[in-house]
Amino acid sequence: MTLSNPQPLQWLVRPDGLRLAVRQRSGTGPTLIFLPGYMSDMEGSKAIALDAWAAAQGRAVVRMDYAGNGASEGRFADGTLASWRDDVLLAIDRLVEGPVLLVGSSMGGWLALLVALARPERVAGIVGIAAAPDFTAWGFTDADKALLATEGRIEEPTPYGDQPYVTTLGFWQSGQALRLLDGEIAIDCPVRLLHGQADDDVPWEIAVRTAARLRSSDVQMVLIKDGDHRLSRDGDIALLIRTVALLLDSI
């Protein structure tokens, strides 16, 4: 999918000098911020569809690539969950006035929760798409952890692209330090969780655990029985946009 009127690429400079690629569309708030998944970027079908909908509705939206991903500068292997969280916080602090609504896919859903904890006064709502909090805990076998400890990285084939799926020890350690599902997640804004029950990467039970741990009383979960991890079919994207629209109307 391509966007008929994409916003021009702009650059957000981190304190260490790395430039982050951002596409920002002005409009009414809260500003939608799309957070891609692991080894993904802002040009995916869900991000493009959300941007196109925002353009038609006159809604403000920001798409971005974390350092080392997509068009942003840096090495992917240098990125950690904490550093990518900080990339999102930098974008919110520098580029956006007023409240934001975070839309996070897979790892982006974990980041959305971490960002909301760091900026509770800015985050008006969260939509998670196959959100994957704590995947460094439940997504790795003992053999994986041993390989990380000895080799410093794991490379695996992935059906989602040509490049191998790389996990570094630094990323894994960062994820372990930012786990959320062992206690209450002190977030009070509305949260919507969309998850496919045919997801081979993130078990749908993670959505149930996340909903249970969130302090907010306004949490809704939608399970898509035949939905896979990507949730990028036309019907899935229609559900995402409908969920975002309803949430915006309520906040």
Residue of 40, 83, 106, 174 marked active site: 106
Rounded to two decimals, what is the model's pTM?
A: 0.95
Q: Are 171 and 79 in contact (CB under 8 A)?
A: yes
Residue 45: closest CA among 240, 220, 245: 240
Q: What would the pLDDT profile of 156-179 be if each residue is shown by its tens digit?
A: 877 666 778 899 999 999 999 999
Domain 10-250 falls in which CATH fold? Rossmann fold (3.40.50)
The H or E element containing residue 126 is strand 123-129
Residue spans per domain, the chain: 10-250
Is 229 designated active site?
yes
Residue of 86, 199, 201, 236 marked active site: 199
Residue of 51, 174, 229, 236 marked active site: 229
- Note the pLDDT of residue 160: 64
- Note the pLDDT of residue 164: 81
- Note the pLDDT of residue 153: 94
Is 106 designated active site?
yes
The H or E element containing residue 115 is helix 107-118
Q: Are 133 and 191 in contact (CB under 8 A)?
A: no
Which residues of the chain, if any, have pLDDT below 50?
Answer: none
Is 78 designated active site?
no
Q: How far is CA 132 from CA 54, 112, 137, 141, in A?
A: 25, 10, 11, 16
Task: Estimate to the nearest angstrom the gap between the alpha carbon of 222 and the chain centroid.
Answer: 17
